[in-house]
Amino acid sequence: MNMANPNASFNRDYLHSPGTIFVVNQQPYDSKYILTSLGFLRRMLDYSTEVSAIELKLKPEANTSTVQAKIEQMLGEEFLVQDRYQQQADVFRIMEIEKLISYLFLTFILAVACFNVIGSLSMLILDKKDDVVTLRSLGADDKLIARIFLFEGRLITVSGAVTGVVLGLLLCFIQQKFGLISLGEGTGAFVVDAYPVSVHAWDVALIFITVLTVGFLSVWYPVRYLSKRLL
């Protein structure tokens, strides 16, 4: 470095703008990065053929983990090979935590709502008291009567779970195609204008199993305990 003229130690060149500015409306990127030619950047950094990073776009049918392992084997430990999830590990970790919290919160709401099922089934047991007497006169024992009410409660749970899953998938499809729920008034504040939705088979199965489990447990209590006291 020339102490008499420190500015001479910096490379300088002219950069002509094409008249357009590329932005992604994300402050961490718009404030730090620009798109320019490879030759201009090499002149600024005194590079000849060196590169600091290479990004690869794989075919849709390619296995990311397999390709990553092969590249790591070819390059050795001196180079860092990461996929897009590893490059944004903090962001995806936060998303997973938010997803888990949302699932637990909605499961709690479902458990509270199941008190309506308990109340409805208890009222049904009281309402059918005379019918229970008739069934007993025809030879039905307490186990058969309990199974009848248990089947009724499970039928309500299954029908509600199926209806909820179908309506949820329909809402996700409408959101993906038409962007029913927007991200706000200012369309330029985000990369996308509508709230992004991605449907995964495991998530749908987990929700369906959770609804059935909570629903069956809420049905089991009034049938096993209240039926003995009320009938």
What's residue 5's pLDDT? 65
Residue 1 confidence (pLDDT) above 80: no
Instruction: Please enumerate in sequence order all residues whose Cβ is within 8 A of that of 183, keeping only pairs 6 or more positions apart, or say none.
Output: 189, 190, 192, 193, 194, 195
Q: What is the pLDDT of residues 109-165, one digit of tens each?
A: 998 888 888 888 888 878 878 887 888 888 888 788 888 888 888 898 899 999 999
What's residue 8's pLDDT? 67
Residue 187 confidence (pLDDT) above 70: no
Average pLDDT value for residue range 181-206:
78
Q: What is the pLDDT of residues 51-88, one digit of tens each?
A: 888 889 999 899 999 999 999 999 988 899 999 888 88
Instruction: Please enumerate in sequence order all residues whose Cβ is within 8 A of that of 158, keeping only pairs 6 or more positions apart, or say none.
Output: 212, 215
193-to-124, 181, 188 alpha-carbon distances in Å: 48, 9, 8
